[in-house]
């Protein structure tokens, strides 16, 4: 039961671990041992954890039952710790790519991305019909350029749609904050630019939503809380927001999120549950729940989120859109709540891969004066002509991991993989990725420690204003010791080396993004929030 010190696990050196399909490495499934907590239960657990002696005892048992003591606390790991996920960049002289000059202005970067995309047939645009059709960035640009519709018209329809989505009949929970006057001001400025024939870029006039973890004037940055914006006022735009403004994007408000990113359901006791546009009785996922939902609903072609442990990718998967977490430090983190320094990254949620690429080009590139020497000097964008497909792609697949999900997810993902093989001739490379569950535990120890440290100054004075689920999460986060944090970074180093070996044999590692589909929102979670580590760990 985790009461006594478990037997020490001694990890083999990385060089001795077989990563081939014939590997004898044991696959450990996630076996989360924690009850779903909402309502009165989550309140009781929070109170108990906040009692000094009882809380410490319960946390020790909880960590032991979930194998943290066995695989991290008491483990012997030869590799040195890796505190920041930076490594030597090797330029492989990729073919059929265009290098993105990071010295370019954001509009010029966007144009480079546009030049990489195939020339597609124009879709008919009906500018008079007051509905949303999940337009892409290029759909908006063509409609604006032709005069069929204006950014002002889109802004008015957007505002009406958000207002409708907030009514008691829907209560979709998309936004924490949006400002009608500011949206119309931006849209009017964009409309004038199109009337003069001087749009800044294809993003000009395109509505983009922002997770409420990223500074974006005139809005406060709440992080999904009722208090953080009072302690940390927003005085300027984040760097990524400044770059979107330079491209002419219309920033339409701050989207809902799981409080402090401390969960994966997107149920926020302060601002309501973000509901899945495909089925409003189910979760949108988290923590970038609102950003995923507004894109999925067709209100915006693109939204920004922040991803520390799947907070962009999970809600994107559950809402049926594209979620991109870029490589560490490819997008400046300045102006983002520093909840987790070494794992959190600004990410992109979009309706299409093309829109994700365009937005990535617009906001990518570190601030030159702060760029570490180990960061790659360039970003390569793929050239995607319509008449030629990318060939000779090798997909690394670890069968035990790929199939460790519900049947409906496995069948869907296997079907997609078969289509890629059949249509493009891409090759499957069978591999073994060792210690996946250990990696999850190490990541949880890392992100939890960093989040707890980030909020240490604020916790005591604002404890009563936290949601109950966030209070439980933060007590668990605060239970990790310095030794556990360092050992987690040793595991990070091991995984980096494992992945580098696999990527020397393959181009992509494939797996389902989430192991389950979106589960139902239950009424008992609406007022207190919800902690569901079982579904969150799959």
Domain at 102-116+135-367: CATH code? 3.90.1300.10
pLDDT tens-digit series, residues 170-182: 999 999 999 999 9
Could you tell me where the DSSP H helices lie in 232-340? 239-246, 289-296, 313-319
How many residues are given for the chain? Answer: 538
Q: Is 397 a catalytic residue?
A: no
Which are the contacts of 260, defined by CB distance < 8 A and separation ≥ 6? Answer: 223, 224, 225, 228, 339, 451, 455, 470, 473, 474
Question: 420: which 2 tokens?
Answer: 């890629």
What is the pTM assigned to this prediction? 0.94
Exposed, middle or buried by CB within 10 Å (0-12, 13-18, 19+), for 417?
middle
Q: Are strands 175-177 and 250-255 parallel, antiparallel or unpaired?
A: antiparallel
pLDDT over threshold 70, residue 347: yes
Out of 211, 254, 397, 487, pick the active-site residue: 211
Marked catalytic residue, from 291, 311, 356, 479:
311
Tell me the pLDDT tens digit for each residue of 447-463.
999 999 999 988 888 88
Nearest to 19 by CA among 464, 435, 478: 435
Any idea where the domains of the chain sit in the sequence?
9-87+430-525, 102-116+135-367
Of the candidates 287, 288, 329, 445, the residue annotated as catalytic is: 287
Higher-scoring residue by pLDDT: 307, 462: 307
In our burial notation (b when 16+ CB lie closer than 10 A, e otherwise), range 207-224 reads bbbbbbbbbbbebbbbbb
Q: How far apart are CA 215 and CA 366, in angstroms?
A: 17
Distances 146 to 140, 141, 153 between C-alpha atoms, Å? 10, 9, 14
Each residue of 70-81: pLDDT tens digit?
A: 999 999 999 999
Task: Assess whether 311 carries a catalytic annotation.
Answer: yes
Task: Assign 497 to helix, strand or coil.
Answer: helix
DSSP secondary structure code for residue 182 in this structure: H
Tell me if residue 373 is catalytic: no
User: Residues 106-124: pLDDT tens digits?
Assistant: 999 999 999 999 876 455 5
In this model, does residue 262 exceed pLDDT 60? yes
């Amino acid at each position: 039961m985790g009461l006594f010190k478990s037997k020490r696990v001694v990890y083999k050196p990385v060089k001795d671990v077989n990563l081939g399909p014939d590997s004898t490495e044991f696959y450990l499934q996630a076996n989360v041992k924690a009850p779903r907590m909402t309502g009165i239960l989550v309140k009781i657990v929070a109170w108990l954890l906040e009692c000094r002696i009882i809380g410490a005892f319960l946390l020790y048992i909880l960590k032991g039952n979930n194998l943290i003591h066995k695989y991290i606390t008491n483990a012997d790991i030869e590799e040195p710790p890796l505190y920041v996920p930076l490594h030597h960049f090797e330029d492989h002289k990729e073919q059929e790519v265009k290098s993105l000059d990071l010295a370019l202005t954001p509009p010029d970067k966007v144009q480079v991305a546009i030049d990489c995309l195939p020339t597609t047939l124009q879709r008919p645009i009906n500018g008079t019909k007051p509905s949303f059709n999940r337009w892409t960035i290029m759909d908006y640009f063509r409609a604006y350029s032709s005069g069929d519709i204006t950014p002002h018209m889109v802004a008015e329809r957007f505002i009406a749609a958000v207002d409708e989505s907030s009514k008691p009949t829907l209560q979709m929970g998309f936004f924490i904050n949006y400002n009608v006057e500011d949206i119309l001001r931006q849209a009017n400025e964009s409309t004038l630019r199109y009337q003069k024939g001087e749009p800044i870029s294809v993003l000009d006039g395109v509505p983009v939503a922002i997770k409420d973890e990223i500074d974006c004037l005139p809005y406060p940055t709440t992080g999904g809380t009722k208090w953080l914006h009072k302690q940390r006022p927003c005085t300027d735009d984040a760097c990524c927001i400044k770059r979107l403004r330079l491209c002419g994007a219309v920033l339409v408000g701050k989207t809902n999120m799981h409080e402090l990113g401390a969960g994966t359901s997107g149920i926020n006791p302060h601002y309501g549950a973000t509901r899945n546009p495909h089925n409003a009785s189910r979760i949108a996922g988290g923590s970038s729940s609102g950003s995923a939902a507004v894109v999925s609903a067709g209100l915006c072609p693109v939204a920004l989120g922040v991803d520390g442990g799947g907070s962009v990718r999970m809600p994107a998967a559950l809402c049926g859109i594209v979620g991109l977490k870029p490589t560490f430090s490819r997008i400046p983190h300045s102006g983002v709540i520093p909840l987790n320094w070494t794992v959190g990254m600004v990410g992109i949620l979009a309706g299409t891969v093309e829109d994700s690429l365009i937005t990535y080009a617009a906001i990518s590139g570190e601030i030159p004066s702060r760029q570490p020497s180990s960061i790659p000097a360039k970003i390569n964008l793929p050239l995607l002509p319509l008449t030629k497909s990318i060939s000779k792609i090798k997909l690394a697949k670890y069968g035990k991991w790929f199939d460790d999900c519900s049947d409906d997810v496995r069948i869907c993902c296997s079907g997609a993989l078969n289509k890629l093989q059949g249509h493009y001739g891409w090759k499957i490379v069978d591999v073994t990725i060792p210690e996946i569950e250990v990696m999850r535990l190490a990541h949880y120890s890392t992100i939890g420690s960093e989040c707890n440290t980030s909020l240490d100054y604020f916790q005591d004075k604002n404890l009563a204003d936290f949601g109950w689920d966030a209070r439980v999460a933060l007590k668990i986060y605060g239970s990790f010791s310095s030794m556990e944090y360092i050992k987690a970074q040793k595991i990070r180093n091991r995984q980096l080396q494992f992945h580098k070996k696999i990527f020397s044999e393959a181009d992509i590692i494939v797996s389902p993004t989430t192991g389950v589909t979106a589960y139902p929102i239950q009424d008992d979670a609406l007022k207190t929030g919800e902690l569901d580590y079982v579904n969150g760990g799959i």
